[in-house]
Amino acid sequence: GQQLNQSPQSMFIQEGEDVSMNCTSSSIFNTWLWYKQDPGEGPVLLIALYKAGELTSNGRLTAQFGITRKDSFLNISASIPSDVGIYFCAGPSGGYQKVTFGTGTKLQVIP
């Protein structure tokens, strides 16, 4: 089946720094979704991308749909402590309204 690999697997950064993470797929996607999961909660959708090359922002978050349609990137600018959590990419995996989630990037922000 489709696999989504995220890197890095985890990262520690200083508050105020910018963060970059990426997601690669073994097959072409026509949609990319980025979710954040806080400890003890379910994932929350951050950004949805629907077109190759698309760059979309949501506050301090910016995500890009890779030109090859096999990758996507998420950047967080000026990180703050509440950015802590696990960030998942997701994409359609065949079938109606079905998505596959990536392996996740765990972010820790040091105040």
Partner 1 sequence: EAGVAQSPRYKIIEKRQSVAFWCNPISGHATLYWYQQILGQGPKLLIQFQNNGVVDDSQLPKDRFSAERLKGVDSTLKIQPAKLEDSAVYLCASSLGRGGSNEQFFGPGTRLTVL
Task: Return d(Cα 63, Cα 6) in angstroms, integer.
Answer: 14
Answer for which of 44, 55, 80, 110 binds partner 1 (CB under 8 A) is: 44
Identify which of residues 11 and 77 has a Cβ nearer to partner 1 in the complex: 11
Between the alpha carbon of residue 17 and those of residues 7, 14, 76, 79, 81, the distances in Å are 18, 6, 9, 5, 11
Helix runs in the chain, H state only: none
Answer for which of 14, 42, 59, 82 binds partner 1 (CB under 8 A) is: 42
Contacts of 43 (CB under 8 A, 6+ apart): 35, 36, 37, 88, 101
52 near partner 1, judged by CB under 8 A: no
Least Å distance, CB 80 to partner 1, is 23
> Hey, which residues between 87 and 106 contact partner 1 (CB under 8 A)?
88, 90, 92, 95-104
40 near partner 1, judged by CB under 8 A: yes
Q: Kindly report whether the peptide bond that precedes residue 8 is cis, defined as omega within 30 degrees of 0.
A: yes
45 near partner 1, judged by CB under 8 A: yes
Residues that bind partner 1 (CB under 8 A): 4, 31, 33, 40-45, 48, 88, 90, 92, 95-104
